[in-house]
Amino acid sequence: MTNNNTRRDFLKTTAVAGAAYWVAGSPSVALSDSPNEKLNFACIGVEGKGSSDTDEAGRYGNVVALCDIDENRLDKKARRYPDAKKFVDYREMLTEMGDQIDGVTVSTPDHSHAPASAMAMKMGKHCFCQKPLTWSVHEARVLRKLANEHGVATQMGNQGTSENGLREGVEVVQSGAIGTVTDVHVWTNRPVWPQGEGRPEGTPEIPKGLHWDLFLGPAPERPYNPAYLPFKWRGWLDFGTGALGDMACHTANMAVMALDLFDPTSVVAETTGIVENESYPKSSSIVFQFPATDKRPAVKMHWYDGGRRPDLDILKGEDVPNSGSILIGTEGAMFSPNDYGAKYVLLPRDKFSDYKKPEQKLPRSPGHFKEYALACAGGDPAMSNFNYASRLTETILLGNAAMRAGTKIEWDAEAGKITNVPEANKFLSRDYREGWTL
């Protein structure tokens, strides 16, 4: 037995002894405060969202390693965690520190989510990965398989899943309060970064401390340009997943969970506009068609971004924000004026003025990252574990495949193939640059 396995067994045993589980309300005991009994986390990507993810790891465990392709950002975060070892290449970090790590956080640009997470899970490490879980549909399926094969605790960073308002909204919909739902509309104000542009010209000098080749990771080689970094990578096909990938795992999450919206039979981008096979469009409108199940009829989900919003009579008189969702049923509607589905209003308001909430069925969250930490210590799986998160991600990313195909795609979920436009199957995966793999 390796030292790391011994450590994991010890942590799990002490967690069970302390009843480190959360059920139907709140955790019954806190994680250990003893440094020797805390989980050891390695954090990949430590600026932007990665900064708060690293701090959450430090709140519930020991941060023993930090990794970022930008040495300036790495040094900045290291000032808070001076005992953590610094790396610019997560492959070297995992290889060198493997026996000292219990779990990882992956907060990189989208194109590196799957390779980093896959390597960690193959080594038996618990894995927290930011949304969208992966860059491609194929990668989502691979990460789900690896998580189950290696028995690790997992969580995707769509924190709305741990909002009790979202869980309550799911219960309300599933109780039948708004009747039978057949239409869902979801919208976002993204992109709030440059998008809908061709490849930039010129080959500016790479900033000191930035490891451009490591940023590229599995993506095809191209010259550095400040048009890609920082944050602006989201709009580029090689690195990001656009407005849809960035926000749908948040904003569509409540509807997906409430109605079990997985495995659409078809997806069509009603507006396209992929620019030079380089960048996602400035705005888009996409329709997902989900088949009937034994619990509900067929459902159509409409997605809008770039300032587009639904024009629905039932929303007249409501203060409709730039991001939100609405589920329309035969007896009313659930409107969420929130990126994460954490708040909701039942419409028409007068009809539901005396509405009484249904009995609680879903556990209430102790906090998003804490769910992951408790799962790492042997507790129940986090609600947004990879079995759920990978299916959500796969569904959402089919929208990007439809945009890139430029036509309606028909999806065979069991086979994992687009059936009507075979040439569009190339948009479900990618060829990895040498040295980078799943």
CATH of the domain at 318: 3.30.360.10
* Bridge partner residues of 336 (DSSP): 325
Q: Is the residue at 202 inside a domain?
A: no
pLDDT at residue 48, rounded to an integer: 95
- Do 153 and 241 have their domain in common? no
- Do 344 and 314 have their domain in common? yes
In this prediction, residues 198-208 reach a mean pLDDT of 95
pLDDT at residue 273, rounded to an integer: 84
* Bridge partner residues of 105 (DSSP): 43, 128
- Do 296 and 374 have their domain in common? no
Q: How many domains does the chain have?
A: 2
- Residue 37's pLDDT band (cuts 50, 70, 90): confident
Report how far apart the first and last C-alpha atoms of the chain are (Å, whole number). 26
- Do 107 and 175 have their domain in common? no
Quick: pLDDT tens for 53-98: 999 999 999 999 999 999 999 999 999 999 999 999 999 999 999 9
Q: How far apart are CA 118 and CA 132, in angstroms?
A: 15
Q: Is the residue at 204 inside a domain?
A: no
Average pLDDT, the chain: 93
In this prediction, residues 299-316 reach a mean pLDDT of 96
Going 164 to 168 to 173 to 178, the CA torsion angle's sign is negative
Identify residue 211 by its one-letter amino acid code: H
In this prediction, residues 416-436 reach a mean pLDDT of 97
Question: How far apart, in Å, are the Cα atoms of 264 and each of 285, 324, 399, 402?
Answer: 16, 21, 10, 12
Q: Which residues contact 340 (CB under 8 A, 6 or more apart)?
A: 158, 159, 160, 163, 166, 250, 251, 253, 254
- Do 173 and 131 have their domain in common? no
Identify residue 102 by its one-letter amino acid code: D
Strand 324-329 relative to strand 299-305: parallel, antiparallel, unpaired? unpaired
- Do 107 and 59 have their domain in common? yes
Q: How far apart are CA 77 and CA 71, in angstroms?
A: 10
- The parent domain of residue 28 ranges over 3-161+367-386
Residue 305 phi/psi, 5° resolution?
Answer: -145, 175
**Is 101's pLDDT higher than 50?**
yes
Q: How far apart are CA 183 and CA 289, in angstroms?
A: 10
Q: Which residues contact 254 (CB under 8 A, 6 or more apart)?
A: 160, 166, 169, 170, 325, 336, 340, 341, 344
How buried is 333 (Cβ within 10 angstroms: 0-12 exposed, 13-18 middle, 19+ buried)? buried
Quote the distance between the C-alpha of residue 389 and its chain's center.
Answer: 7
- Residue 376's pLDDT band (cuts 50, 70, 90): very high
Quick: pLDDT tens for 219-249: 999 999 999 999 999 999 999 999 999 999 9
**Is 3's pLDDT higher than 90?**
no
- Do 64 and 173 have their domain in common? no
Say what percent of the chain tops pLDDT 90: 91
pLDDT at residue 186, rounded to an integer: 98
- Do 118 and 178 have their domain in common? no
- Residue 272's pLDDT band (cuts 50, 70, 90): low
**Is 312's pLDDT higher than 90?**
yes
CB 166 within 8 Å of CB 160: yes
Q: Is the residue at 200 inside a domain?
A: no
8-state DSSP, 28: S
Tokens standing for residue 61: 């465990």
Q: How far apart are CA 90 and CA 109, in angstroms?
A: 13
- Do 283 and 373 have their domain in common? no
8-state DSSP, 337: -
**Is 19's pLDDT higher than 70?**
no
Q: Is the residue at 401 inside a domain?
A: yes
Q: Is the residue at 434 inside a domain?
A: no
Three-class SS state of 75: helix
Question: How far apart, in Å, are the Cα atoms of 182 and each of 261, 265, 326, 330, 396?
Answer: 11, 15, 11, 8, 18
- Do 382 and 350 have their domain in common? no
pLDDT at residue 16, rounded to an integer: 34
CATH number at residue 85: 3.40.50.720
**Is 120's pLDDT higher than 50?**
yes
**Is 11's pLDDT higher than 90?**
no
Q: Is the residue at 280 inside a domain?
A: yes
